[in-house]
Structure 1
């Protein structure tokens, strides 16, 4: 089933349950992109992967722009860095709310936002989930596959691998701040290989295997 919306930012009108920002700051970096996307990239929070000023995930920070650059090269992203155009791609965070500089989300705040993240993920209903970094990867593997107990959370080893989930294929991405020689190229090659495959069969296969 396809979503019918022309909204690029926060297409489902989510309202975060708390606000720790100043009066002139953005409340959150809401989900952004193509609400009918097959590819869904999941980051940590705006302080890590960007969006505190733009309101757009994967902007501003070095790690965010490195992710954006990979998806530009593979044909998903066009337009400006601050407000890009996404095709067949959706971006969001496990913790969408912006926090004051130097503050990290508490576990309670991650837990409070989990239901919002889950609702948006299921509404997008992508074929390929691409969590970025340890926090997002751990969450996606625990909640959307049956394999977290069998997988060591070694991001260097998991980077750009295909993991079958419950109705999804999961491709973890090591945080760009930890990339070594060849990591960027490995991710580009994996995306190109998936695009060249019949990846829309992922849901049926993953449901049986994951």
Structure 2
């Protein structure tokens, strides 16, 4: 099903509960990009992956810029770093709200916003989920696969691999701030291989032919 919307920021009008935030920060970093994307980039929260100043996921920080440069090289991303345009790519966070001092959300705060994240993920209905970092990867594997109990959450080993989910193909991404020599190229090579294949979703099961 195609989403009919020309909104690139918060296309489904999510309104989670906000708290007071630091001066100059957005109340939240809403989902952003192509609402009909095949690729869905998933971060943790604005304090770690950016966007508190710009309002756009994975912008305004070295970590975010490092990651989006890989997607820019593959023509998912264009235009200015702080106001990028996404093509066939949607990005959001497990916890979208900006918290004072960029602190880590509590377990209760993650739980409170989980339903908003889940609703947006299902509305986008992308083929490829790309969780960034340990927390986002853990959440996606627990909620959208039956394999979490069999997978050790070792991000250096999981980085840029393929994991079958319930209707999705999942490609975990190691925190860009922790990337070593080959991590950038491993991610780029994996994305190129997916793009060059005939990826599609059939009867709710993500498959790749090629």
The answer to whether TM tops 0.5 is: yes
Aligned to 2:163: 163
Residue 103 of structure 1 deviates from its aligned partner by 1.8
Residue 19 of structure 1 deviates from its aligned partner by 1.8
Aligned to 1:12: 12
Q: What does residue range 79-158 of structure 1 map to in structure 2 within 5 Å?
A: 79-158=79-158
Q: Which runs of 5+ in 2 are unaligned?
A: none
**Partners of 2:37 and 2:126 within 8 A in 1:** yes
Provide the C-alpha distance between the structure 2 equivalents of 1:160 and 1:100, rounded to a whole number of angstroms.
Answer: 32
Provide the C-alpha distance between the structure 2 equivalents of 1:201 and 1:190, rounded to a whole number of angstroms.
Answer: 18
Q: Note the aligned Cα RMSD (angstroms).
A: 1.4
Aligned to 1:174: 174
**Partners of 2:18 and 2:28 within 8 A in 1:** no
Residue 25 of structure 1 deviates from its aligned partner by 3.0
Q: Give the SS at the match of 2:54.
A: coil
Provide the C-alpha distance between the structure 2 equivalents of 1:77 and 1:200, rounded to a whole number of angstroms.
Answer: 22
After superposition, the Cα gap between the structure-2 partners of 1:203 and 1:101, relative to the gap in structure 1 and judged at 3 Å, is farther
Q: Give the SS at the match of 2:111.
A: helix
Number of corresponding residues: 207
Provide the C-alpha distance between the structure 1 equivalents of 2:185 and 2:51, rounded to a whole number of angstroms.
Answer: 25
**Partners of 2:161 and 2:172 within 8 A in 1:** yes
Greater Cα shift, 158-167 or 94-103: 94-103
Aligned to 1:189: 189
Q: Give the SS at the match of 1:200.
A: strand
Residue 61 of structure 1 deviates from its aligned partner by 1.2
**Partners of 1:40 and 1:90 within 8 A in 2:** yes
Provide the C-alpha distance between the structure 2 equivalents of 1:170 and 1:140, rounded to a whole number of angstroms.
Answer: 8
**Partners of 1:132 and 1:174 within 8 A in 2:** yes
Residue 75 of structure 1 deviates from its aligned partner by 1.1
Residue 206 of structure 1 deviates from its aligned partner by 3.5
Deviations 1:185-204 (A, max 9, x none): 00000000000001114765
Provide the C-alpha distance between the structure 1 equivalents of 2:20 and 2:115, rounded to a whole number of angstroms.
Answer: 19
Q: What does residue range 25-40 of structure 1 map to in structure 2 within 5 Å?
A: 25-40=25-40
Aligned to 2:53: 53
Provide the C-alpha distance between the structure 1 equivalents of 2:199 and 2:69, rounded to a whole number of angstroms.
Answer: 22
Residue 74 of structure 1 deviates from its aligned partner by 1.0
Moved over 6 A (4+): none
